[in-house]
Amino acid sequence: MIFLDNLINGLSLGSIYAIIALGYTMVYGIAKMLNFAHGDVIMIGAYIAFCGLQYWGLPPVIAILAAMAVCTLLGVTIEGLAYRPLRQATSLAVLITAIGMSYLLQNIALMIWGANPKSFPRTFINGASIRIGQLNISSATIWTILANIVIMVALTLFTAKTKMGKAMRCVSEDRGAAELMGINVNRTISMTFAIGSALAAIAGVLLCSSYPILQPTTGSMPGIKAFTAAVFGGIGSIPGAMIGGVLLGVIEIFGKAYISTELGDAIVFAVLIVVLLVKPTGLLGKPVREKV
């Protein structure tokens, strides 16, 4: 019973990591960069949803849509202003810019909303919990797992069937060749950021529905862990991000429950180091050959 309870908690946490990890993995696959600021886009999304619910009195669905719209715009703007000028630069320069962007977003949030924590309001997502036998499953858990499955299926279909999705796969395979074939690389990368950031808004709402505290640093720890999940699953791979996220969530909860709550985070990061040692490309990642 306790085991089942922990498993469900792990799946719920892991599903949130998975949705965040998707954003990292898509951007890495296509733009070949670590978007360090992704976790902070999540935080902005959660704040917008909070404002919608608490100050503007919007219905939950509209608030979430507003958050998605703002985040999409934000993601595309960040890409255009900060990352596009560095398309030819070394990965070190891009990474440092992304870290700068992450700090910029946190500090802007600090100026707008202050350092005092806010409690995320109740919506249909975190309503009454459901009782099955002796198990209590919170409705946020159910919504998170559902959202995870829907997003996974939709993204797989999108990349496999639509023209834009195919373009994305082309760019990720070989940017130069894609450009020669008439694919607009900049637009494709912008589109990737748009989708990733819209998902970030959903992740933000789900994150804050499960753990209803909102601060300017809310996105950073889940962001770093989700990134770990993306590396775990094989960065660049969409199913990899899903599996990596869910597994990491389960490992974190089990580690806390059966090993020690003190070392929960250390266990998560130790997993990352072990994975990189044993299989540097992650669970589902493809080995990359470098050409001269």
7, 257, 279, 283: residue in contact with another protein (rule CB under 8 A) = 257
Q: Which of residues 150-189 bind another protein (CB under 8 A)?
A: none
Q: Is 59 in the site for another protein (CB under 8 A)?
A: no
Q: Which of residues 89-108 bind another protein (CB under 8 A)?
A: 89-97, 99-104, 106-108
Tell me the pairing of strands 135-137 and 130-132: antiparallel
Q: Which of residues 15-34 bind another protein (CB under 8 A)?
A: 34
59, 73, 112, 122: residue in contact with another protein (rule CB under 8 A) = 122
Q: Tokens 């917008």, residue?
A: 48
For another protein, the closer CB: 167 or 251: 251
31, 252, 284, 285: residue in contact with another protein (rule CB under 8 A) = 252
Helix (H) or strand (E) holding 106: helix 91-113
Q: Is 256 in the site for another protein (CB under 8 A)?
A: yes
Tell me the two tokens of residue 71.
């985040």
What values do phi and psi take at 21, rounded to 5?
-60, -30
Tell me the two tokens of residue 263.
């070392």
Query: Cβ 183 to another protein, closest distance in Å?
Result: 22
Q: Is 289 in the site for another protein (CB under 8 A)?
A: no
Using the rule CB under 8 A, give the single segment among 48-56, 164-172, 190-198, 238-246 that binds another protein: 48-56
Residue (of 145, 103, 104, 121) closest to 47 by Cα position: 121
Residue (of 70, 73, 62, 16) closest to 39 by Cα position: 16
